[in-house]
Amino acid sequence: MKVNKAIAVSAILGLLAACSGAPAGEETAADPSEAAPNPDEPVSILRPDVEQPDLEPEPLEPLNAIIGFPEGGSELDADAVAALEQVLASGQLASGAPITLRSHSDSGGTDEANADASEARGLAVAAWLIGKGVVDDRIEVIVFGEQNPIEPNALPDGSPNEAGRAANRRVEVLIVLPSAEGDAAPSDESGVGGSGEAGD
């Protein structure tokens, strides 16, 4: 049986119009809510009907900076000031957390002299920070003298290890935020004692 093509096409259009709810031969009006997005407006990938979680900022790690005094004494050189400037700009210092200054010497003098030398370094670092606006109540200076070297003070033959001694003349700046206090609590041993030669 042959079917007239015009009748078939008309019948199909009529069925489509019935399904869409619009009369045959009329185009349906575009839904305003489905209009093309304005390219000048920012597009959000967040669904407004879904509650977004509050994202906690990442906790700051403890700060442990070394301020060196390789030439001895307690005067801050350019490298020491540069290291302190980094401490001053850190989020840890800005947090208001306590600041511990652990001061050290080499083994070149008596225990008492080395304690005095390392204390002077700790106080020099504290004075610099206070001069930059850090509240002095935040700062604690702990004196170690020669107790905790990070390099050998002597070579295997017993002669002085000058590079090692220079590295040991230092102040460690430690800032631990309250959430991380259990991870890096500073020791409070001071190691003061001895007789009175000049030390480094």
User: Is pLDDT above 50 for 190?
Assistant: no
* Mean pLDDT across 150-168: 95
Residue 106 token pair? 């080499």
**Residue 168 sits in a domain of what CATH number?**
3.30.1330.60
Identify whether 60 is part of a domain.
Answer: no
Identify whether 121 is part of a domain.
Answer: yes
What is the predicted pLDDT for the residue at 146?
Answer: 96
Task: Name the one residue in this structure whose structure tokens are 């670092």.
Answer: 125
User: Is pLDDT above 80 for 11?
Assistant: no
Q: Are 199 and 74 in contact (CB under 8 A)?
A: no
Identify whether 56 is part of a domain.
Answer: no
pTM of structure: 0.64
Identify whether 132 is part of a domain.
Answer: yes
Q: 63-68 and 170-175: which strand pairing? A: antiparallel
Residue 189: band (very low, low, confident or very high) from pLDDT cuts 50, 70, 90: very low
User: Is pLDDT above 80 for 115?
Assistant: yes
Q: SS3 string of 101-154?
A: EEEECCCCCCHHHHHHHHHHHHHHHHHHHHHCCCCHHHEEEEEEECCCCCCCCE
Identify whether 57 is part of a domain.
Answer: no
Provide the number of structural domains found in the chain: 1
Instruction: Give residue-wise pLDDT tens across range 17-69.
Output: 555 554 544 555 555 555 566 666 666 666 666 666 666 667 889 999 999 99
Identify whether 140 is part of a domain.
Answer: yes
Identify whether 9 is part of a domain.
Answer: no
What is the predicted pLDDT for the residue at 9?
Answer: 55
C-alpha–C-alpha distance, residues 190 and 124, integer Å: 17
Q: What separation, in Å, do the N-terminal and C-terminal C-alpha atoms of the chain show?
A: 114
Residue 168: band (very low, low, confident or very high) from pLDDT cuts 50, 70, 90: very high
Q: Kindly state the DSSP code that residue 34 receives in the 8-state scheme.
A: G
What domain range is 135 assigned to?
66-180
Residue 132: band (very low, low, confident or very high) from pLDDT cuts 50, 70, 90: very high
Exposed, middle or buried: residue 192 (CB in 10 Å: 0-12, 13-18, 19+)?
middle
Residue 124: band (very low, low, confident or very high) from pLDDT cuts 50, 70, 90: very high
Identify whether 80 is part of a domain.
Answer: yes
Residue 111 token pair? 């225990």
